Amino acid sequence: MNAIRTVLVLGGTTEGRAAAAALAGAAGVRVVSSLAGAVRSPRLPDGEVRVGGFGGAAGLAAYLRAERVGGVLDATHPFAATMTAHAATACAEAGVPLVVLRRPGWTAGPGDRWHRAGSVAAAAALLAELLPPVHGRVLLTTGRGGLAHFAVVDAAFWIRAVDPPAPPLPARHTLLLDRGPFGLDAERALFGGIDPHVLVTKDSGGAATAPKLTAARERGVPVVVVDRPALPAGVAVESGVDAALARLLGT
């Protein structure tokens, strides 16, 4: 692990924190984690931490050179497409190895009633087919972005997010401000209290946020799953922290 002295970890995900912890405990490695600053009180990883953007791909490339970064691990959220694109461009320009760490996406199983959507806008449009004509109820767990697409839908929304989202929001909504992960018992209780007609979520993947899918399956609730954006062509991708670090560090 001594081949690379400075590693930049992009993202404040669970996997990003695990990677930072592993790198911080390695001799001769300096780890710097970069957080977008989208969450007010993020869980801080081990090692050095910087918060905020770089100023696009050019700014990131300049940072890589200035800090003599020897490798970049993109552990951002699967839907942080802009940051991943900037990382691919900047690393190619600066000649710095890049590995994208992505947890596997979810796969529908027996009893699931899933409807795939190519975007948040497409997910909002699908609700017209899935909700009853009146008094529709939606549990929305897509995060704070793109909520304007749901503002035109005539239904009652329960919106789960870490921090309060910015308007426009659906006319009838309840904010569920909380930070996961949420266990299965908690998700069952939430579904029992709301009794939603539809769950809308993003294909974040992983086990930490999957219990809501189990709760939906148990209650026969349809789920609109927003597909992940495509990764830039040619980037190295791993689904596990150990494999990603081994590829990045050449071990």
Q: Are the C-beta atoms of 35 and 2 separated by less than 8 Å?
A: no
Q: What is the predicted pLDDT for the residue at 4?
A: 60
Q: Which residues of the chain have pLDDT under 50?
A: 1-2
Integer Cα distance of 231 and 160 in angstroms:
26
Instruction: Label each residue of the chain as H, E or C.
Output: CCCCCEEEEECCCHHHHHHHHHHHCCCCCEEEEEECCCCCCCCCCCCEEEECCCCHHHHHHHHHHHCCCCEEEECCCCCCHHHHHHHHHHHHHHCCCEEEECCCCCCCCCCCCEEEECCHHHHHHHHHHHCCCCCCEEEEECCCCCHHHHCCCCCEEEEEECCCCCCCCCCEEEEEECCCCCCHHHHHHHHHHHCCCEEEEECCCCCCCCHHHHHHHHHCCCEEEECCCCCCCCCEEECCHHHHHHHHHCC
With a CB cutoff of 8 Å and minimum separation 6, the contacts of 133 are none
Q: Are the C-beta atoms of 21 and 45 separated by less than 8 Å?
A: yes
With a CB cutoff of 8 Å and minimum separation 6, the contacts of 204 are 77, 78, 79, 103, 106
Domains 6-104+230-249 and 114-226 share a fold: yes
Q: Is the pTM of this model over 0.75?
A: yes
Q: Where are the domains of the chain?
A: 6-104+230-249, 114-226
Question: What fold characterizes domain 6-104+230-249?
Answer: Rossmann fold (3.40.50)
Sheet (strand 198-202) strand order: 114-117, 223-226, 198-202, 137-141, 156-161, 172-177
Q: What is the predicted pLDDT for the residue at 251?
A: 57
Instruction: Read off the tokens for 176.
Output: 């569920």
The residue behind tokens 């909002």 is 124
- Paired strand residues for 139: 158, 199
Average pLDDT, the chain: 94
* CATH code for the domain defined by 114-226: 3.40.50
Q: What is the predicted pLDDT for the residue at 190?
A: 98
